[in-house]
Structure 1
Amino acid sequence: MKDILRDIGIIARALDSISNIEFKDINLSKGQFVYLVRICENPGIIQEQLVEMLKIDRATASRAIKNMENNGMITKKNEEENKKNKLLYATEKGLKLYSFIIRENEHSNSVALEGLTETEITTLVELLDKVKNNISEDWLYVKKGNKRNY
């Protein structure tokens, strides 16, 4: 069996490293840009939904959200029905950063997909979606306290 996870890991770490360097000037570090993008694309999202969407732990999400709030990129508002829930919204500053991040993302996608045909890109997207769904099920299973059988 091919070990595609190594290649996926290399790609993810390389892009994360590039982003951390390029986003350093705008006070977005250690992958926080991903949080900001998801908040901009899902106004009013709550932290638990963000955790599920990004497949991260609550403590990591809390630190990133607090940092972005302190840097004026996002704001929290109480949910009407459930005051425990804090709805997350991008500020004007966050929305400006979002457009910069999206341009970087489009560039990285362009570089990553260079030389692939439209058919290959479509196939890649479909296959990666299947892989993501498989891993998501495993992630949820383990996060609920279960152990996987190897």
Structure 2
Amino acid sequence: MKEILHEIGMIARALDSISNIEFKEYNLTKGQYLYLVRICENPGIIQEKLAEMIKVDRTTAARAIQKLEIQGFIEKRDDEINKKIKKLFPTDKAKNVYPFLKREGEYSNKVALSGLSPEETETIFQLLQRVRKNIEVDWDFVKKGNKRDY
């Protein structure tokens, strides 16, 4: 069997390393930029939904969100109906950095897909979505405290 997940992992780690270096001037490291981009794209998102979107556990998300809040990139606001719910919003500082983060993502995407035809790009996109959906079933299962049976 081909080591597809090995390849996906190497791609993800390489892009993460590049981003950590390039975003250092903004004091964004260890994947914080992922959270920031999603918050900028989804103002008012709640922490649990953000964690699910990025595919991390709540504790990991809470730490990253807390750091972003301390750094002044995001702010938490009470939900108007349920005061226990905190919604996440980008600050002006985040809104100023977001275009750079977006350009970097678009550039990395362009580099990753260079040499592929539009049809190949669409095919790889569709296939990766199917792979993600397959993995999400196990991610959900394990996240709920279950163990996979190998």
Same fold (TM over 0.5): yes
Residue 141 of structure 1 aligns to a residue whose secondary structure is helix
What does 1:104-119 align with in structure 2 at a 5 Å threshold? 104-119=104-119
Query: C-alpha distance in 1, partners of 2:70/2:146?
Result: 36
Query: C-alpha distance in 2, partners of 1:24/1:148?
Result: 38
User: 1:46 corresponds to which residue?
Assistant: 46
Residue 141 of structure 2 aligns to a residue whose secondary structure is helix
Q: Offset of 1:99 from its aligned partner? A: 0.6
Q: Offset of 1:86 from its aligned partner? A: 0.5
Query: C-alpha distance in 1, partners of 2:106/2:88?
Result: 25
RMSD of aligned alpha carbons: 0.7
Query: C-alpha distance in 1, partners of 2:89/2:102?
Result: 17
Residue 99 of structure 1 aligns to a residue whose secondary structure is helix
Query: C-alpha distance in 1, partners of 2:127/2:116?
Result: 15
Is 1:18 aligned with 2:18? yes
Q: Offset of 1:132 from its aligned partner? A: 0.8
Query: C-alpha distance in 1, partners of 2:112/2:98?
Result: 21
Identity of matched residues, %: 61
The alignment of Structure 1 onto Structure 2 pairs a total of residues equal to 150
Unaligned 5+ runs, structure 1: none
User: 1:32 corresponds to which residue?
Assistant: 32
Unaligned 5+ runs, structure 2: none
What TM-score does the superposition give when structure 1 sets the normalisation length? 0.98
User: 2:147 corresponds to which residue?
Assistant: 147
Q: One-letter code of the match for 2:83?
A: K
